[in-house]
Chain A
Amino acid sequence: MRIALFITCVNDLAFPATGIAVTRILRRLGHTVEFPTEQTCCGQMHANTGYRAEAMPMVRNYVDVFDSYDAIVAPSGSCTAMIRDQYPSLHPPATSVAARTYELSELLVDVLGVTDVGAEFRETVTYHPTCHGLRLLRLGDRPLTLLRQVRGIKLVELGDAEECCGFGGTFALKNPDVSTAMLTDKCARVRDTGARVLAAADNSCLAHIGGGLDRHRSGVRAVHYAEILAETGATS
């Protein structure tokens, strides 16, 4: 099976560790992962902010770059949701490649049939299910299923977990007061858990919650769950 990594624009620029983690996990499981360098962005920010026409070239580029692969994995619930939920209606030729695009936990659990990726991570972790993974992709407990198999991890439940953190892409900039109010509550629930690590499937949401946690010097680290799954406890 030819697996391609769609890193997403935000991860490429600001969170390369997540892409490195995905690569390591898949290689450890014996798979070859390719990274077509012609990839750019899924176009979600443009489409969801009201610039669908400006998103279309990125949509077409995605099809050109990824259509030849058997499976495309993206370490982002919301970029995967953009592709699977919106591409078929925006650009019908994208229907097939959209259906072959998976969020990491879907690829691991549903396509590769793996729940134990051989990870070890000795920390107390709480997991925030991000909105598009939860309600558009219906990831359910796939990411948690993977995290539960991690050696040494202590998972603690997040209160009001399914409530949005207030990021919403350009919402955070257009509605800073409401966004901040939502963020404050999310950070409070995270801190209620006593966890030292907050994990989620989207670095954009994590940049928002993590940015709020850092602002208050909370001492809680926000990481993509792929980075936990990549840890083996061995010093690298």
Chain B
Amino acid sequence: MNPPVAPATGGGRIRTPLPFPTAAKPAVADTQLRANLHRATRTIRAKRARVVDEVPDWEALRDAGSAIKADVQRRLPELLEQFEASATAAGATVHWARDAAEACRIVVALTRAAGADEVVKVKSMATQEIELNEALEAAGIAAYETDLAELIVQLGDDTPSHILVPAIHYNRAQIREIFQRRMADAPADLSDEPAALAEAARAHLRRRFLSARVAVSGANFAVADTGTLVVVESEGNGRMCLTLPETLISVVGVEKLLPTFTDLEVFLQLLPRSSTGERMNPYTSMWTGVTPGDGPQDVHIVLVDNGRSAVLADPVGRPALSCIRCSACLNVCPVYERAGGHAYGSVYPGPIGAILSPQLTGVADNASLPYASTLCGACYDVCPVKINIPEILVHLRQQAPHPPVERATMRVLSWVMRSPRRWAAALRLARAGAGPLGAYRERRTGARTLRRLPWPASAWTRSRDLPLPASQTFREWWGKQ
């Protein structure tokens, strides 16, 4: 028997080029970005809360979603083989990609084989993750995003900053500016009314839909027992891509499986209410291999691992693979609201990104992300599949490389605090040591606080006063009773 091999980590746009605190600094200072994020996240947050509150069995639905995903994770290899057999029997060709690079190579080869030099794209996180657009461009193939927000981001030479609303960091005036600058067929008198912007994009995209011979999509769900793929979208652009071109290539993360078609009943209730705050999803497209004479006749499915087997191997971190990319956790996260998606440096921002990206790459490659949270728990409360994000964040922090000064401090504190005698002595010493300073500050300022300290304590005192030890500790008061 072969010794067990550690599963490979993933590649693509899932690594932070800068530590989160460094990347967040300019974002927090960007007043336009802060206003855009504040307005957008709070709007979606309130909408979600309204439509979730009206579902009497919401908690039961969450439990069901969580249980189905846990079942998928327990028997993923078996379900993947079942999916491959079902999809193949229905006329699709299934490809397997170990990582981002291999997935991109497969899509490039399939596009070339179809004789195309352009593809239209359905909004897809998996293709953003593997940096497919860049790979296609390098191979001389133009990729056209057709989701309105993805189109805005692509025309702006930018990257998505939100899972559901990739252009959440822009307001409508900024979008109008991007369209006027980069969309050759935009009307000269384009206004920044949402309807006018959508109409301009619609006219721009219509030509692409009619001429494209190859479409690339992701999938929200892949059903093992039928071989069906499901795309859930709001605009109808996806439906165009999924029906008009001759060739359809779908890039699907291996965790997207559901065991049976009836399992969709649970997820098609959970997803729209959690993501867009809608009761029902506007465009739900499902296809099973090839239907002769109807829709794409050359159907490919690329199943991508890209680090997912490594996530699966960790029983504590594994529930991150249950994520259905709804974005509810981003919209309630106070850290995301202030730092924005780009600070996370990965296509997966927010709380889910903080647990998913480090697991896909190995924690050492994304060491700042598990710390990009106050552990406030708002994300866990709204997660439709009950991923205990704070618990996984704490779990990943145990694996993160720790700064030497911090490690030394923590060890000394632990040595002191593990011994009642040493701890009591340390309390006495701290109280006595800070005594004269505390008394002085109290006389001068009326409070036993400090206002300015050198590094590293300056990280605290830059925006908050710091309380000094009290003039007697609690145990000293108790001892005098």
Binding site for B on A (CB under 8 A): 7, 9, 11-17, 19-20, 23, 35, 37-41, 43, 45-52, 54-55, 57-58, 61, 65, 131-132, 134-136, 162-164, 166-184, 207-208, 210-212, 214-215
Contact = CB atoms under 8 A, between A and B. Distances in A.
Residue with the greatest number of chain A CB neighbours at <10 A, chosen from B339, B400, B418, B463 = B463
A207 B371 contact: no
A54 B414 contact: yes
Given A164-B374, A168-B376, A47 B460 contact: no
Given A131-B377, A135-B378, 6 more contacts: A13-B430, A14-B468, A17-B470, A40-B417, A48-B397, A52-B398
Given A12-B427, A14-B469, A178-B339, A135 B417 contact: no
B449 A214 contact: yes
Nearest to B367: A50
10 contacts: A14-B470, A16-B472, A37-B420, A51-B402, A57-B417, A135-B378, A178-B24, A178-B339, A211-B464, A211-B466
Given A13-B430, A35-B475, A173-B459, A168 B374 contact: yes
Given A54-B411, A135-B377, A175 B464 contact: no
Nearest to A212: B464
Given A16-B470, A50-B398, A136-B377, A182 B338 contact: yes
Nearest to B21: A175
A178 B338 contact: yes
Contacts of A174: 21, 371, 459
A168 B411 contact: no
Nearest to A7: B474
Nearest to A16: B474
Nearest to B418: A57
Nearest to B463: A180
Interface string B442-481: 0000010101000010011011111111101111111100
Dominant secondary structure at the A interface: helix
Contacts of A172: 459-460, 464
B96 interface: no
A16 B427 CA distance: 12
Contacts of A14: 467-470
A20 B475 CA distance: 10
B424 A37 contact: yes
Contacts of A50: 370, 394, 397-400, 402
B414 A46 contact: yes
B50 interface: no
B469 A13 contact: yes
B400 A211 contact: no
B316 to A, nearest CB: 10
A179 to B, nearest CB: 8
Given A57-B418, A61-B420, A214-B447, A208 B464 contact: yes
Nearest to B414: A54
Interface string B22-51: 001100110000100000000000000000
A209 B376 CA distance: 15
Size band of the interface chain B makes with A: 35 or more
A65 to B, nearest CB: 8
Contacts of B423: 9, 40-41
A209 to B, nearest CB: 8
A52 B339 CA distance: 28
Nearest to A134: B377
A58 to B, nearest CB: 5
Given A171-B371, A173-B456, A57 B397 contact: no
B284 interface: no
Which 6 pairs, one residue from A and one from B, show the smallest C-beta to C-beta distance? A168-B374, A211-B464, A57-B418, A50-B397, A54-B414, A164-B376
Contacts of B155: none
B223 interface: no
A164 B378 contact: yes
B36 to A, nearest CB: 15
Contacts of B424: 37
Contacts of A134: 377
A180 B398 CA distance: 26
A164 B430 CA distance: 30
Contacts of B374: 131, 164, 166-169, 171, 179, 182
Contacts of A163: 334, 378
Contacts of A166: 334, 374
A169 B376 CA distance: 11
B418 A211 contact: no
B81 interface: no
Contacts of B456: 173
B372 interface: yes
B141 interface: no
Given A131-B376, A166-B334, A177-B28, A15 B470 contact: yes
A208 B459 CA distance: 12
Contacts of A215: 451, 463-465
B474 A211 contact: no
Contacts of A38: 420
A178 B372 CA distance: 9
Contact of A135 (B334, B381, B402, B474): B381
B431 A13 contact: yes
A181 B371 contact: no
A198 B470 CA distance: 20
A87 to B, nearest CB: 13
Contacts of B334: 163-164, 166, 182
